[in-house]
Each structure stands twice: as structure tokens, then as C-alpha cells.
Amino acid sequence: MRSLVPGWVEWLGPLLFLLGMAAIVGFVPVVVVRMSVLRVEPTDHWTAQARLVHAARVSVIWAAATVPAGMWLLSTITIGPVGWLPQWLFGLAGAAGAVLMVARVSWWIEGSVLQQPVPGWSPFLGRFLVRIIPLAGIIILALAAPARLSSPRMILWMLFAFAVAMSLRFQLELAGFGLAEHSDERLTAIVGRAATRVGVEVPAVFIIEHHQPNAFAFPWRGAVAFTSRAVAELSDDELESVALHELGHMAESTSSAVLRQATHFIWIPLAAIKPVLGSFGSTGLLAVVAMLAGLLMVVRRFAASMEAKSDEHAIAHLDESGTYGGALEKIYRIGLIPAVLRRPSHGQLKDRLEAAGLDVDFEPPAPPPMRALVAATMAAILVGLAILAAPYIAMIGADLSSPTPARVALALGSYGSWPFERLGQLADVDRDFEAAEVFYAAAAEVSPHPDPLVDLVYVRSVLGRCREAQDALTSLTERNALPGDVSLAEEWVEWCRQQWGDGI
């Protein structure tokens, strides 16, 4: 087929898709960051600064979330340099390029714009790649899903999904990749004092190299972890108060622990979009989205309640509750974490500080603006509409006897069989039956409808390929074609045999 279309057809689709993804993944976050920086005054309270900083970080996260969708769209192109490559190979190369772009933008934002103590580019990239290993597993899982829920392979796929979900439980195993390492003597002693206060066994203690101050509990591993920024910025008393909070998670009830483990599986319906669409169409997609929205709401409320209980646990075991409040305020301030969020999983900072007995010395600002998400979404919609509308725009005022509109649609992919059928019809008019046979065969391959097969029987009969015409007729009857179409195709096959005998 490559010899039957101009060279620009092969490159138009990949070029537009790559430009669109580059705009969404790279250009949009940079524009959002620049807009946010212009709104930040050096004299602003840190809560006001963090409110706008959040928009920059959200834009990068959003851009990263579009990568799988963009790679999938690009893989639908059926002709040209992309169409000739295996989809998994192109998807892997495209995703790698997009991830590198997201990492670079994130590194620039955190270091140059937000003035966070990020490492050099190479260490940052390495840690970035380690953190997205779970995401990569989910994407591979989605690509490996069978086409329908009724497929026998769904059993194997579900076992694979369970294995991927279980692997998320052991994130500290990433220590082998350099993400986490065993704690130093100072932090181990601090966590040991906190465990003694509570009267529990001292957990394993890890340090995770990261420029954001934070701490984590891993009850299933009997471990707690602190980021290197938290260890560097917080005092011993503040680290002990944070350790008491994490030990509160370690003491959660069995039912809470089971529910927390179940949260690792809520994304599996999203990874099963392909078989759901293949079995139930758009109705199944809407059902999955509604189910995920409900599950995320439950998970968020559950997380907020668990965080509140852990806060109470830390405060109850401290001689001076204000120490914990001071640690919280410092974590939010130096990490530029918004003091107010629309749907927080850890509660609002003001409420947490007051629960720790501190007087809030700032007026809580409004939640972070939604303009970053809105701008990025609108950009993605405009890029998508431009790509989708391109072949139809090409047809406006165009000479329908020209192959250009069909070639544009063919270059962009995702348009079913009509571009192939149109090119086959134009070749038929020019009496180029060899070319028409190629295009009709391509149309029949990508379309489940019987119409292209009728034309395929015709051109193969004219070319004297009676046996191949009979094969197309057999496929036509298997697709439950209209009786009139089947009769017409049978007449062409019979004519072919009369003219050519067994055929060429």
C-alpha cells in the first residue's frame, strides 16, 4: 500500500499527533507555570504562594496522565512509518519520549521556578523513573488486556492484575533501585523513642531520597520511612512527633488495614477499559467511570478519617502537642503544600493545627485555582478536535473526485474503513483495478461491515482472481450481508468463472 499513497500521507498523522502531545506534555505546563509565577508576590504569605504553586504541579501531573491516551491514539494510525512498526514497539518508544519530557518539565519547575532543593538532572530522572514503575505496570496491564470480557485470557489477565496490585504493597522493595535506604542512627533512635512512648515494637526505619518533606507508614512491612528533606529540616522533637503519627497508622484495626489494602485494587477496572468497551461499548465505559468515581470518594473519606485518628494518636502521646503542630506547619511551608485543598485526604491544615493546640496565625486562603486543569484540558480538547476534524475540514469545498480528503483521513487514522473505500472507488473509476483491490481489501480488514467485501468480490472478479473472489464471497456471507449484496457478489463470481475458468 505504501507505493499507492504519496509520501506526505505517511508522515502527516505522526507529525500532528507528536506535535499535539508535545504541546500538552511540554508547552501547556510551562505556560501554566509562567502564569502562576506572575501572580506570586515575594511579600505574599507562604500559604498564598503555595496556593498558586499547586497549579504548576497539577499541570505536570495532568500532562503525565495524558501520555497513555496519546500513545494509544498514535498507535491507531494504520499507514506510514507508524503503521509499519509493531504497536508495542512504537508505544514503548513514544511513552519513553513523553516520560522524559514530563520529567524534564517537572525538574525545571521544582528546581528553577519553585526553588526546591532538587538533585541534578541524572539523579532526578533516576528517582522519577523508579516512582513511575507502578504506573508502567498498570499501562502494560491495560495494553495486555484481551478484547472482550468473555475471552478465556481474562482469567490469566486477572491473575496478572492481582500480581501487579500486590506488588504495589511492597514499595519499599524499591530500595534495591536506590529509592530508599536504611535509616541513620539519629533517625532510628528518634523512631525508637516514639515507639517506646507508645509501647510498641520498634519498626524498621528507612530514608527516601526526595526533595519534598514527608513521612510514610508501611504496616504490612512493619516499617516507617521519612524523606531526606524531612530529616534535614525537622528537629529531633518534630521528627518524633511525626513518627508518632506514622505509628498511629501502624496501630490501625484489622478491618482498616484490610480496607487500606483493598485500595490498591481500585484501578483494575480502569486497566480493563479495553475488554469492557469490547463487551459493552460506551455504556460499559460510563459504568466504569461512575464506579471509579464512587470508589475514589469512599477511599478519600476513609483516608481522611485515618489521618485524623493518627493525628489524635500523635497528640495524645506528646508532652507538648504544639510540637506536632509546628512540624506540620513546617512540612507544609517548606514543601509549598497548599494550606487549603478542595478535597483533602489529610484534612485542612487549619483544623490540624488547631487540634494540636496552636493558634493559626494566617487567614486560610481560597483553594488552589482550577485554571491549570481547565487550561490543560481545553488545550487537549482543542488539539484532539483539530486532529479529528482535519479530514472533514479537508473535504469542505474540495473536489470529491480528488483523493486528498481520503488520504488526509487515512494519514490520521481512527476513521474506520471509509478512506480505504473512497480510494478504492477512485481507483476503480480510473480502471486501476489492482490498486482498487488493495484498498478494498484494507477496508474489509479494518471494518466489520460487509460493504467493502462486495466491492472486493467485484474487482477480484474483473482481475480474474476467481478463487480469491470466492473467498471474499464466503466472508461476505459470514458477516450476514443483505441478500441483495450476496446475490450480486455471487453473480460476479459466476461471471468470473465463465470468463476465466478457474481464474488466474
Q: How far apart are CA 95 and CA 464, in angstroms?
A: 46
Residue 82: band (very low, low, confident or very high) from pLDDT cuts 50, 70, 90: low
pLDDT in the model for residue 167: 67
The whole-number average pLDDT for the span 226-235 is 94
Task: Report the candidate in 20, 24, 142 with the shortest Cα–Cα distance to residue 77.
Answer: 20
Instruction: Give the neighbor-by-neighbor strand order of the sheet with 215-218.
Output: 180-182, 204-208, 223-227, 215-218
Mean pLDDT lowest for which of 51-60, 173-182, 450-459? 173-182
* Positive or negative torsion for Cα 466, 468, 471, 473: negative
Mean pLDDT over 341-368 rounds to: 85
Specify whether the CB–CB gap between 310 and 246 falls below 8 A: yes
Q: Which residue, 90, 57, 67, is CA-closest to 21?
A: 67
Which residues face 225 on adjacent strands?
A: 206, 216
Mean pLDDT lowest for which of 201-205, 211-215, 324-328, 418-422?
Answer: 418-422
pTM: 0.72
Q: Is the pLDDT of residue 1 over 90?
A: no
Strand-strand pairing, 215-218 and 223-227: antiparallel
Say whether pLDDT at 87 is over 70.
no
Q: What is the DSSP letter of 3?
A: G
Instruction: Find, among 348, 351, 358, 347, the residue nearest to 325 by Cα.
Output: 358
Q: Which pLDDT belongs to residue 324?
A: 94
Q: Is the pLDDT of residue 146 over 70?
A: yes
Q: Is-contact 234 213, C-beta < 8 A?
A: yes
8 has pLDDT over 70? yes
pLDDT tens by residue, 185-197:
999 999 999 999 9
Ramachandran assignment for 481, one of left (phi > 0), alpha (psi -120 to 50 degrees), beta (any other): beta
Greatest alpha-carbon pair distance for the chain in Å reads 102
Q: List the beta bridge partners of residue 205.
A: 224
9-25: per-residue pLDDT in tens? Answer: 777 777 777 777 777 66
CA distance 229 to 214: 8
Q: How much is the average pLDDT of 474-483?
A: 87
Question: pLDDT, tens digit, for every residue of 241-256?
Answer: 999 999 999 888 878 8
**Phi and psi at residue 345, to the nearest 5°:** -95, -10
pLDDT at 485 over 80: yes
Instruction: For residue 270, give every residue at least 6 positions away whose Cβ sits within 8 Å of its Cβ, in sequence order, or none.
Output: 138, 142, 288, 292
Distance CA 75, CA 142 (A): 14
Q: How confident is the model at residue 36 (pLDDT cuts 50, 70, 90)?
A: confident
The yes-or-no verdict on residue 219 having pLDDT over 50 is yes
Q: Render pLDDT for 383-410 as a digit per residue (tens, 0 to 9).
A: 666 666 666 665 565 566 778 878 877 7
* pLDDT given for residue 104 in this prediction: 86
DSSP string, 91-124: HHHHHHHHHHHHHHHHHHIIIIIS------HHHH
pLDDT of residue 273: 82
pLDDT at 461 exceeding the cut of 80: yes
Asked which of 56-60, 66-70, 97-101, 132-136 is least confident by mean pLDDT, the reply is: 66-70
Cell numbers standing for residue 91: 508505544
Torsion of CA 211, 212, 218, 224, to 10 degrees: 70
What mean pLDDT do residues 84-98 have? Answer: 66
Full DSSP string of 284-342:
HHHHHHHHHHHHHHHHHHHHHHHHHHHHHHHHHT-S-THHHHHHHHHHHHHTT--S--S
Predicted local distance difference test score (pLDDT) of residue 502: 61
C-alpha cell recorded at residue 157: 489477565
Q: Which one has a higher pLDDT value, 151 or 72?
A: 151
pLDDT of residue 437 exceeding 80, the answer is: yes
pLDDT band, residue 61 (cuts 50/70/90): confident
Mean pLDDT of the 49-76 span: 69
Residue among 224, 269, 278 nearest 249 (CA): 224
Lowest mean pLDDT among 67-76, 255-264, 270-279: 67-76
The CATH number of domain 416-500 is 1.25.40.10:
yes
Residue with cell 469545498: 397
281 to each of 147, 158, 171, 269, 418, how far by Cα in Å? 11, 20, 35, 14, 21
Q: Are 56 and 82 in contact (CB under 8 A)?
A: no
Residue 176 has pLDDT above 50, yes or no: no
Q: pLDDT class for 177, splitting at 50, 70, 90?
A: very low
- CA–CA dist 202, 345 (Å, integer): 27
Average pLDDT, the chain: 81
Q: Report the C-alpha gap between 10 and 6 in whole angstroms.
A: 7
> Both ends of the chain: CA-CA distance in Å?
22
| Region 131-155 average pLDDT | 80
pLDDT band of residue 83 (cuts 50, 70, 90) is low
Taking residues 448-467, report their average pLDDT. 89
